[in-house]
Structure 1
Amino acid sequence: MSEIENDALEFGAHEPASESRLRLAELVDETADIFARLAVDLHSAGGVEETVDAVVQFALQALACTYSGVALHTRGRRPEIPAVTDPVVAEIFNLQIDDGTGPLIESLRHQRVVLVRDTAVDARWPVWAAEVARLGVRSVLDVPLAVGAASSRSFGVLGLYSPEPDAFGPDDEAIAHILARHASVAVATARHEQTMAQAVDARKLVGQAMGILMERYGLDGDRAFAILKRYSQDTNTKLRDVAQQLIDTRKLPRT
């Protein structure tokens, strides 16, 4: 029996069985309603930053945590911290990112849940745990996110924090898993849409720059594109940026 069910039954221990069952049903319905609202909020959030911010704000409503945050990591880059509910979370994240150790790093590397029941006594990362305890955080639950297709996948972690020791039970972990799955899909979708929008914008810029070259020098489209491409390669500048410079200054970058 889950903790939610235990709490509901204990709360209704002195009530008729029918009333206890009704209260349990209300708890289940309330949880389902919360996640229904989450799905709507996440998938209508807009960009990546708005989506991630919706995730951390929802975590405060649905879980026994005081602080929450998300870290995202693409191979070959330093992990980024797109959203936190309190500056203390960014400090906890950066402690681990700078040192390359801690539950966040463990969760990122191995894509598994990491639970720290009490930073005051946890011996796995003693230096980090002592610093986090000093910041007033005693319980930590890090849940992995997987964002994007396998070929270009980024990884992330949803971090949950509480000033109380042993704050996260099985129900919190189960809800965090559901939230992480919603978040993974929503962030992947937001990133894809952002990439597509950037690609469309780049094509428009290149087309406009080609038009300038064609009009000024009497070139056809293939020749104008070849010139932009050559300047991009010679200056080690993105094609989009070469086009933007030509549009802004009516000049190509110096080679």
Structure 2
Amino acid sequence: EWLETLPQDQLKCLVDEVGKSGKATRTVKLPTGDEEECTFLPEHVTNEKKKEKQTTTTFMPGVVEPSFGIDRILFATLEHAYYARPKDTTSEDKQTRGVLAFSPNIAPYKMTILPQDQRITRDEKYVDMMRKIRQRVSALGHSCTVDDSNATLGKRYARNDELGIPFACTVDFDSLSDNCVTLRERDTMVQIRLSVDEVSTLLHDLCWGRQKWDAVLKKYGQSSQ
């Protein structure tokens, strides 16, 4: 054990001394802690030299950093899509109405469902109608929200325009009797009236560019509700 812990230079000196003189004496520390003089003979030590070729492979890690990240793309998209509606000089409301004009195919939410006011949300029949509309839209792979807050309908329109939602479906008090709702387009603020059963398929076509709003407006006509 003492030989195994001996430094290489001292071990070489010991081997050389044994080779020249035939023996070498060293003070060895025993496992018990005691020290003892030991004589090493040629049969106790051997000297073997080996020549090994060691090779190493080095490399410098590198990262290809593009000149722009995903955050820049998002910021550019937001900046390009945002605009403020012209203020109505005859209106007392001087608040700036911001709009995120996301294209329907990239908008996170494609449509918002709006009850005309709080009285509609208290009627389970209207709630069931809104639930069916949302389920049909979701079944086609589109996300939509329901804004049933107590704010006025106009303020809810403006709030969802700021979120970039391209279409708003309004359930009014005539919806149960004629099974129709209004669909409002965000940028033109023009709305049409159509059957509840047509909402999901029309929204799907508008989001995928299969139909244009101008053509839809000619087909259904502008609604004043």
TM over 0.5: no
Higher helix share: 1
Instruction: Quickly name the TM-score band, shorter chain normalised.
Output: under 0.3
Tell me which structure has the larger Cα radius of gyration.
Answer: 2
TM-score (norm 2): 0.25
Going by fraction, where is strand more abundant, 1 or 2? 2
